[in-house]
Amino acid sequence: MFHVLEKRISEAVSARIAALYGIEFAVQTEQPKQASFGEVAIAAAFQLARQLKKAPKAIAVEVADGFTVDGVSSIEIAGNGYLNVRLDRGSYAWGLIAGEAQAGAHGAGKIIVEHTNINPNKAAHIGHLRNAILGDTFVRMLRATGETVEVQNYIDNTGVQVADVVIGFRRLENKSAENVRDLITSTRFDYLCWDVYTRISAYYQDHKEDAAEWRRETLHAIEADEGADAEIGHLVADAIVDAHLQTMLRLGIEYDVLPRESEILHLQFWASAFEQLKQRQAIYFETEGKNKGCWVMPGAAFRDDPQGEEDSKVIVRSNGTVTYVGKDIAYQLWKFGLLGKDFYYRKWYEYPDGHPLWASTDQPQANDLHFGGGSRVYNVIDSRQSYLQDVVVAGLRALGYAEQADRSVHFSYEMVALSPRTCVELGIELSEEDKRRPYVEVSGRKGLGVKADDLIDKLIENALIEVTSRHPEEAAEARKRVASEIAVGALRYFMLKFTRNSLIAFDFSEALSFEGETGPYVQYAAVRARNILRKLEERGEKIPDFRAALPLEALARQLNSNEDCWQLLLAASKSDSAIERAVASGEPSHAARYAFQLAQAFSNFYHEFPVISETNPEKKTFLLWMTEYFRAQLERTLAVLGIEVPEYM
């Protein structure tokens, strides 16, 4: 609603300026610093001052003189040339009641968002949670603005990390495929693999030659899909993928398709990409120097001022195998439908809500499913991989796909590290050097990190204590469900409140907090809004039909006589523009912060206006509508963040 009006105002002022001065000027609207200045501010007079050789104030006077816009009650000149716009409150509110929201139909093509992408060789940790929560929230934001989105979770089931766990089971633990199969059903397998991976990594420290030899053998066996190594590789990767899916499902995160590395290999995706790269001369065969015998991409393709050979990137090794980046170029081509190939798909899992999850397969299937072929691609990958992402995009560009290269977005974010205090709580021994640092990097190899499920469990445990102390009379099952929703709300909000390039030094006490700027604070506001409406019905009163009960004049009367209500309503009506802005800037944190501000606004409303006990009938109806509107807006915004509203708190 608000952004519709903003747009109308900026267009009208632009037209006005064109009529007055005969120039094209795209007027920007902004939010006034103070609420008392009005609802929309325009600084155009300052920007035009030089061009028109006039004082800003004089321009503002000319623009504002006799100028009106539909839905605007007044335009004032303030300061040295600001135009402050005041909305017609009654008609604004009436528009909200009548539901004049209408999301503009976006959707020129499918958007692909790839996130999570955890190596399927051990339990997920908090760093992975940031990736998945950022990605999932961005998907929800896009869908809220009307986009069609396909969610991909890439599974590297044939890489060294899986190989290392296979080696751990085979060489350190002496396990057969049959043993591993048993372990999958009888143990917390993703946790077991976490430990196996830590042990084999530690073993490599002292046995470098074994590492190289065993990895070569095992990777070869896995790629060829032969023997016990390959079998264990399948068992491990598939079981861990399932574990990750369950972990993410606890947070409400679902995927559409799992493109897997094994099919990229078996269906020769790389061979097709390799042909294209050679044909277009995006890569060349190096005949001398340190990269002799490799196919490399010259540094000039992805660097502004390459330092020479040092900067070229090996795509195919001298032994003929392709690097990760090479495979990623093939994968990226497929995402845009530029590879000329597709996977086959089999159903991997059906979510409790009925949503099917498909996974790639190399065997033809009865279905005729197709994925990929997006018009825009977001890769949610941490900022440490920006160099590799640059190379992938350079690959597209070198192949002549400039447009797709521009639409390949590295949705990067900084890592999640551990605060020193949290390390102490986890019983992790820190070196003197680490103790002086503000944070300690998570390391899967060292087993140094907080497992996702452990954190979620701990959050639920803490939430359950709070819930039980407040609502001892409620059924245990319901309390558990509420505690879980609060825990998820806390976790998702915590991961979203920071901007993407802010490094999170994970701290238990901070993450476990349910007060202040947290998910539960926002949930609490929504629960209280619902409570008011519920209490009313419990008293035998009915929620009025607001369209009939609140004519425009009544709305104008209420809003003009009460500044606080107007400000609160205004804030609540900005959810669409907040989400749009968050999408445009690629910052889910903006959406999270808006949710918090909205909750703050409602908390103020809650304390200032006793709704049910209000004796003036018109005012009571009006306050009820405000409550209902806040409830709807809070719930919509929380849904975009992937946070549920508990029955009670």
Partner RNA sequence: GGGCGCGUAGCUCAGGUGGAUAGAGCAUCAGCCUUCUAAGCUGAGGGUCGCUGGUUCGAGUCCAGCCGCGCCUACCA
* Residues in 362-391 that interact with RNA by CB under 7 A: 383-388
Interface of this chain with RNA, residues 344 to 363, rule: CB under 7 A: none
Q: Is 524 in the site for RNA (CB under 7 A)?
A: yes
Q: Is residue 349 classed exposed, middle or buried when 0-12, 13-18 and 19+ CB atoms within 10 A define those classes?
A: middle
Q: Is 115 in the site for RNA (CB under 7 A)?
A: no
Q: Which lies closer to RNA via its Cβ, residue 96 or residue 626?
A: 626
Give the separation between CA 470 and CA 455, rounded to whole angstroms: 23
Out of 179, 375, 513, 567, name the contact with RNA by CB under 7 A: 513
Q: Which lies closer to RNA via its Cβ, residue 152 or residue 254?
A: 152
Q: Is residue 324 classed exposed, middle or buried when 0-12, 13-18 and 19+ CB atoms within 10 A define those classes?
A: middle
Interface of this chain with RNA, residues 308 to 337, rule: CB under 7 A: 310-311, 314, 317-319, 321, 323-324
49 in Cβ contact with 31 (< 8 Å)? no
Out of 28, 148, 179, 361, name the contact with RNA by CB under 7 A: 28
| Residue whose C-alpha is closest to residue 449's, from 121, 114, 122 | 122
Q: Is 204 in the site for RNA (CB under 7 A)?
A: no
Q: Is 32 in the site for RNA (CB under 7 A)?
A: yes
Q: Is 47 in the site for RNA (CB under 7 A)?
A: yes
CB of 148 to RNA, least distance (A): 25
Out of 414, 425, 474, 618, name the contact with RNA by CB under 7 A: 414
494 in Cβ contact with 510 (< 8 Å)? yes
Out of 138, 255, 269, 514, name the contact with RNA by CB under 7 A: 514
* Helix/strand number for the chain, H first, E second: 27, 17
Contact string (CB under 7 A) for RNA, positions 427-456, x = contact: ----------xx--x---------------
Sole window of 63-71, 174-182, 242-250, 302-310 interacting with RNA (rule: CB under 7 A): 302-310
Q: Which lies closer to RNA via its Cβ, residue 110 or residue 510?
A: 510
Q: Is 551 in the site for RNA (CB under 7 A)?
A: no
Q: Are strands 82-87 and 72-78 parallel, antiparallel or unpaired?
A: antiparallel
Q: Which lies closer to RNA via its Cβ, residue 112 or residue 495?
A: 495
Eight-class DSSP state of 345: E
Sole window of 79-87, 222-230, 251-259, 275-283 interacting with RNA (rule: CB under 7 A): 79-87
Interface of this chain with RNA, residues 460 to 489, rule: CB under 7 A: 463, 466-467, 470, 482, 486
Eight-class DSSP state of 271: H
Sign of CA dihedral 317, 320, 324, 327: positive
Eight-class DSSP state of 171: I
Q: Is 153 in the site for RNA (CB under 7 A)?
A: no
Q: Which lies closer to RNA via its Cβ, residue 535 or residue 547?
A: 535
Say which residue the tokens 């609160």 belong to.
568
Give the separation between CA 296 and CA 315, rounded to whole angstroms: 5
Maximum alpha-carbon separation in the chain: 89
Out of 577, 586, 632, 635, name the contact with RNA by CB under 7 A: 577
Q: Which lies closer to RNA via its Cβ, residue 280 or residue 470?
A: 470
Q: Which lies closer to RNA via its Cβ, residue 217 or residue 510?
A: 510
Tokens standing for residue 562: 């009460």
Q: Which lies closer to RNA via its Cβ, residue 68 or residue 80?
A: 80
Torsion of CA 391, 395, 401, 402, to 10 degrees: 40
Spatial neighbors of 328 by CB under 8 A, at least 6 apart, are 388, 392
SS3 category, 7: helix
418 in Cβ contact with 439 (< 8 Å)? yes
Out of 21, 25, 46, 349, name the contact with RNA by CB under 7 A: 46
Give the separation between CA 377 and CA 372, rounded to whole angstroms: 10
Sole window of 106-114, 168-176, 335-343, 597-605 interacting with RNA (rule: CB under 7 A): 597-605
Q: Is 51 in the site for RNA (CB under 7 A)?
A: no
SS3 category, 111: strand
Interface of this chain with RNA, residues 241 to 300, rule: CB under 7 A: 261, 290-294
Q: Residue 414 CB: number of other CB atoms within 10 A?
A: 16
CB of 516 to RNA, least distance (A): 2
Element holding 356 (H helix, E strand): strand 356-361
The residue ranges of DSSP E strands in 414-553, in sequence order, are: 416-418, 440-441, 504-506
Q: Which lies closer to RNA via its Cβ, residue 53 or residue 105?
A: 53
Spatial neighbors of 225 by CB under 8 A, at least 6 apart, are 262, 266
Contact string (CB under 7 A) for RNA, positions 207-246, x = contact: ----------------------------------------
Give the separation between CA 503 and CA 415, rounded to whole angstroms: 6
Q: Which lies closer to RNA via its Cβ, residue 320 or residue 427?
A: 320
CB of 412 to RNA, least distance (A): 8
CB of 560 to RNA, least distance (A): 21
Out of 24, 206, 209, 304, name the contact with RNA by CB under 7 A: 304
Sole window of 22-30, 94-102, 167-175, 366-374 interacting with RNA (rule: CB under 7 A): 22-30
List beta partners, residue 359.
258, 346
End-to-end CA distance of the chain: 31
List beta partners, residue 612.
none
CB of 385 to RNA, least distance (A): 6
CB of 356 to RNA, least distance (A): 27
Q: Is 305 in the site for RNA (CB under 7 A)?
A: yes
CB of 637 to RNA, least distance (A): 16
Interface of this chain with RNA, residues 531 to 550, rule: CB under 7 A: 531-532, 535
Element holding 112 (H helix, E strand): strand 110-114
Sole window of 250-258, 329-337, 527-535, 564-572 interacting with RNA (rule: CB under 7 A): 527-535
